[in-house]
Amino acid sequence: MTAGGYGSMRVTDADRDNVRAILADAHAEGRLSLAEYDERSAALLEARTYDQLAAITADLPNRIPLSPPQVYQPSSVMPGSPGLAGPANGLAVASLACGIAQFLGLWLLGTIPAIVLGHKARRQIRRTGEGGSGMALAGLVLGYAGLALTVIVLTLLVALGVAVFHSAPAGR
């Protein structure tokens, strides 16, 4: 007879831990000698199927309780998935909005808030597991891109001003 009807299915580490606890209890109760305990523990390390686990505990009164294996069933929201873990974090949405707004005419008014809100949102998302990590990252990228463009434009304006100042005739 197969173990719970799952005989040739592979076992998990949790199943091995259950059998390890059963063997330890049996040894503590005197049902297994130290040699038998060692022999079965070695077999436990090699066990890969439910049948093999059942054979290790077949003569023990509290043998392995085999429950049906957990079957993976995908869902639309997986816990711990970045961006899919629930409603989006409000700071992430604000960061993305500021990042976009800076390129629509609010230049510096959107740059710094996009960066600050993006960092705060990512910290909250890591702590709470909320969704929106992609929006927070996009807000950060847009904020830093706007900051870099600002620095480049200001550098070019200063260089142009210096060049014009030095090329002007000295007599005027």
Q: Give Cα 152 to chain centroid, integer Å.
A: 36
Whole-angstrom distance, CA of residue 55 vs CA of residue 44: 10
Burial class of residue 112 in the structure, from the number of CB atoms within 10 Å of its CB (0-12 exposed, 13-18 middle, 19+ buried): middle
Evaluate if residue 162 carries a pLDDT over 70: yes
Q: Give Cα 9 to chain centroid, integer Å.
A: 29
When mean pLDDT is compared across 13-22, 46-55, 62-71, 103-112, the lowest value belongs to 62-71
For the question of whether the overall pTM of this predicted structure is more than 0.85, the answer is no
> pLDDT for 34-85, tens place per residue?
898 889 889 888 888 888 888 888 888 766 555 544 444 444 444 444 445 5
Highest mean pLDDT among 24-33, 50-59, 82-91, 132-141: 132-141
Bridge partner residues of 131 (DSSP) = 88
